[in-house]
Amino acid sequence: MLKHRGFPGRLAGTDFQFIIRRANPKGATPLTPRERFPDRRPPDRRADAGFMLALWEHFGTEPFERGNLDAGRLSWLFGREVVAVDKDGFDPTDYDAELQIDEAIARASFPEIFDGKGHR
């Protein structure tokens, strides 16, 4: 399992984790798209935005390996803002799976990240 060095471990000041410390010997938790309802709690929305910002600052539009990114947090973005690079051969339980940010959808979903205040 690739460990993304320099990637934030959690949302600052909260218990919302962004990465895991070690691989699960039984295999990676599957990535499953989760629907974000408009009535989600503000802390959950901030965690989604914080994670999207961390992904954007760390990877931009380049493909990246899932590695030690938290499956639960990633699943809130998966299938929309974060997509599989190889849709046909994608394994949702593979730590080596290649993912990529869909910039157009990410910009529409999180305009506060791409508002021109020094972010890519």
Q: Which residue has the tokens 């320099």?
A: 6
Amino acid 115: pLDDT: 78
φ/ψ of residue 102, rounded to 5: -85, 100
Amino acid 3: pLDDT: 93
Beta bridge partners of 64: 99
* Spatial distance between the Cα atoms of 22 and 35, rounded to a whole number of angstroms: 27
15-30 burial code (b ≥16 CB/10 A, e <16): ebbbbbeeeeeeebee
Amino acid 120: pLDDT: 47
List, for the chain, all residue ranges whose pLDDT scores fall below the cut of 70. Answer: 116-120
Q: What is the pTM of this model?
A: 0.89
Among residues 62, 36, 63, 30, the alpha carbon closest in space to that of 49 is found at 36
